[in-house]
Amino acid sequence: MTVLADLSLWRSADLPAWQRALEGYAAAITALPNAKLAGHDAWYRAELPSLVQARAPMHVTHDEMVRITEWKMARGVWRAPNLV
């Protein structure tokens, strides 16, 4: 198991290194084997924040929570009881 604190980027204060890592994020997500992940990730990062912020009070709906759970599990953490 990888410990994030052991990775050099996490110990770095080098802003350009962090920017390069962020610029490679979309390619890294697309390279993962789950075909649905890219769509879930785009929704999670680009659409969901504005949907939540548009509500008073801010909240996520049940359907959004289901999709968040699907996004999380698509990233490699599979716990089927999360959707029960």
Give 11-41 pLDDT, tens digit per residue: 899 999 999 999 999 999 999 888 889 999 9
For 34, counting Cβ atoms within 10 Å of its Cβ (0-12 exposed, 13-18 middle, 19+ buried), the class is middle
Tell me if the bond preceding 49 is cis, omega within 30° of 0: no
Q: Are 52 and 59 in contact (CB under 8 A)?
A: yes
pLDDT at 4 over 80: no
Question: What pTM value is reported for the model?
Answer: 0.73
Name the amino acid, one letter, at 57: P
Q: Are 29 and 44 in contact (CB under 8 A)?
A: no
User: Residue 29's closest CA among 14, 18, 45, 15?
Assistant: 45
